């Protein structure tokens, strides 16, 4: 019956790890990551859950003649913020996966 005790212990360990992972995921949602483009002319802020929460454009960038440049800057800042959010997610959740390939983390 020794195997049953080990199995129960392993299940308790897994439940603890699941709880810690859920807490870490929740904390990621509270994080704010900033991406910039154009030397800070455009700033995009995303959550740790990779949702865009804010877009800031400096007034001097807004030139009706050059809307394509503004669109490119917003796109670049958004991609910068999302890349940083992905890196934060990998760092935070990587402590649980430790090299395991788990889809979604």
pLDDT at 51: 86
Residue extents of the structural domains in the chain: 2-97
The pTM of the full predicted model, rounded to 2 decimals, is: 0.61
CA-atom Rg of the chain in angstroms: 20
Q: List b or e across 47-85, with b for residues whose CB sees 16 or more CB atoms inside 10 angstroms.
A: bbeeeeeeeebeeeeeeeeeeeebeebbebbbebbbebb
**H or E segment to which residue 79 belongs:** helix 67-97
CATH architecture of the domain 2-97 equals 2-Layer Sandwich (3.30)
pLDDT at 104: 57
| Per-chain mean pLDDT for the chain | 82
pLDDT (mean) for 25-40? 88
pLDDT (mean) for 57-65? 79
């Amino acid at each position: 019956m020794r195997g049953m005790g080990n199995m129960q212990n392993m299940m308790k360990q897994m439940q603890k790890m699941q709880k810690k992972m859920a807490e870490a995921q929740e904390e990621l949602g509270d994080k704010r990551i900033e991406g910039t483009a154009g030397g800070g002319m455009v700033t995009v802020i995303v959550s740790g859950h990779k949702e865009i929460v804010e877009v800031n454009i400096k007034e001097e960038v807004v030139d009706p003649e050059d809307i394509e440049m503004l669109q490119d800057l917003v796109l670049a800042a958004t991609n910068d913020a999302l890349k940083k959010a992905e890196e934060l997610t990998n760092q935070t959740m990587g402590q649980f996966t430790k090299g395991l390939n788990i889809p979604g983390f």
